[in-house]
Every structure is written in C-alpha cells, then in structure tokens.
Structure 1
C-alpha cells in the first residue's frame, strides 16, 4: 500500500483547489458484458477557441456505483471532441456513485456551443472490483484446478 497526495477541485474546474493524503493499493476489476451510453448535453452557452481545452457545464449525469466511465471519441460535436468528464469533490472509489457536472472539451475550431446541444457520449461499464492480491489468488486457484500439462501444451480439466 502506498501513501499519495491527491489534488482536486472541490466544486468545479477552476474553483476551490484542495488536497488530501490517502492510502492506495494496486486494484483491478472484471468488466461486465453490460454497458450503457449516456449523452452529455451542454448546460450553458460557451464560446470555444480552436485548440484550447475548456470545461463546459453539462446537465448532471448520475453514475451508479461499481461503474467506470469512458468517453466515446467517435460521437462528437461539430466544434470538437469530448476528452473527459468531471465529477466534483474528492476522488471517489469505483464502488461509490458519482455525479458528472462538467465535460473537458477540445475544440477543433472556434465557435459557440449552445445550451441544450449534444457535446459527446460516454460509455458506462459495470464492473466487479477486487484488489490485485485477490485477483492473483483467484488465478492461482484456477491454475491449480486446471492442472496445466506442459507435455501436451494445454489444460486438462478433471
């Protein structure tokens, strides 16, 4: 386990900056075959400038516990692409629910994004979490049960 300092915006990007020390350990997860797409809709009118990354307020999106989020770069606004999403406050564990309030956006040309416009799509994947120690133990148990047989180059189930 390692002790690290995390630095985060407490309320919104460019708002109140805070930091905390936390303990972390290697972590892993198993992806569920179930996922869903959610659309990010601008909650404000925003002038954007080509090649200048900006934060855009979006209509809030609740992310359930045991889920990870990733942007879909193929679904984009004509003025640019969604790079990431922002959840206010201290970093949360995968096991906790979250609320997305802002989007990190990279304009490919200057212009105005209007309130109510689609600015991107996110993929929400459901996961089963575990520490890497637990995953390693599960794999060792599986390998023991599988009885790896190098002489025939395969796995024999009994």
Structure 2
C-alpha cells in the first residue's frame, strides 16, 4: 500500500496522517453486490495549514459513498496572480474565488490545461471542508512542465462539479442492489436490445 505524494514545500508526513481520499467506482453487471465491503470508522489526523502553522487534528472518518449526478457543470480556474515557473517544481497559485456548493464533488477536466503545465490539486490554507458542507477554492497547486510564467487572468484549468447524494456505505450498497435488480429486469425484456 503506497501512494505518490506531491509536496509543495518541505515538511513531514506522519503515520496516521490523512493524505487523500480515493473514489472507487463499481462497474459491471454481475457479482457487483459482493464487492462493496463493510468498513469500520477510522481515526486519522487531518493535516492543514492555518497561516504559517501546520495543524494536525484527529478525527473519525466514517465510511460513506455517494450517488453522482450524470450531469456536471464546468468551473474555470483563472489565475489571480502572476507567478514564475520552473519545470517540475510545483507552485501554489492564487485563483479567482470559486464557491463549491454543498454535496458537490470535483474532478479535473484533464483536456483543459495551461500551456506551461497542469493543475495538480486545489490548495487549502484553512481546514478542509466536508463534501456535504461545501467550501471555496482560492488557490491551486500547479505543476509546470516547462519553465515560464503564469499571468494573472490566464486559464489554468477547468473543474467538473458534480452534485452528489452522500450516504453511509450500507445505503449505497442498497442503492446499487436496487439498480442491479432494475437493470436485470431491463436486460431480461424480450425486446432487448431496443435498437
């Protein structure tokens, strides 16, 4: 169990620090019910910056899942400052403020990027927000692929905003089972496929 961590400054990761969250998508039409595992809550440390200080706060992370809308909206990440870039050295860049509504997950639109590099992630210099609470994006981590400059007003990237309904993992399993049952009935129709 390993992860690649892109540091933007010197520091230390300690055992028990939460370094990220991944999405696991379940695909397929057979045997899906058994792959959603029961998970127990875990104690972890959320690590964030507050001014010049690094804060480590112990929290309990409850297992959860979500159902995502198939429709997204795009939000442009526009530089709100000019920054010099050096190839391969991540830099934090201020962006025009973007409000993230409650119950929204964000994914980068990978085909939209700046000529000198890509946005690797959003940057929080405040406590991270919960998905169900929403928050604001004011800075991003930019990974330059070439030496150059990002200028104020330039497009750095685009984010997809998806509305979600969050629930404990047991309810997500129930949603999935209901969907599988419905699809099973649909595929069993004598007129399937319809085209």
- Residue 5 in 1 paired to residue 42 in 2? no
- CA-to-partner distance for each residue in 1:56-104, whole Å, 9 max, x for gaps? 0101100100001111221011111111112442222111121001111
- Residue 46 in 1 paired to residue 83 in 2? yes
2:127 to 90, 94, 111: 90
Deviation (angstroms), 1:137? 4.0
Deviation (angstroms), 1:136? 2.6
CA distance in 2, matches of 1:87, 1:31: 24
CA distance in 2, matches of 1:62, 1:24: 24
Q: Secondary structure at the match of 2:106?
A: strand
- Residue 20 in 1 paired to residue 71 in 2? no
Deviation (angstroms), 1:20? 0.6
CA distance in 1, matches of 2:148, 2:175: 52
Q: Which residue of 2 aligns with 1:109?
A: 146
What TM-score does the superposition give when structure 2 sets the normalisation length?
Answer: 0.68
CA distance in 2, matches of 1:115, 1:21: 37
- Is the CA contact 2:73–2:160 (under 8 Å) kept in the aligned structure 1? yes
Q: Which residue of 2 aligns with 1:151?
A: none
TM alignment of 1:1-158, pairs within 5 A: 1-11=41-51, 15-139=52-176, 142=178
Runs of 4+ with >3 A deviation: 137-140
By relative contact order (CA 8 Å, sep 6+), the higher-ranking structure is 1
Paired residue total: 146
CA distance in 2, matches of 1:92, 1:65: 10
Task: Compare the two structures and name the one with the higher strand fraction.
Answer: 1
Query: Relative to structure 1, is the Cα distance of residues 38 and 138 closer, same or farther in structure 2, using a 3 angstrom cutoff?
Result: closer
- Is the CA contact 2:49–2:124 (under 8 Å) kept in the aligned structure 1? no
CA distance in 1, matches of 2:119, 2:110: 6
Q: Unaligned stretches of 5+ in structure 2?
A: 1-40, 190-195
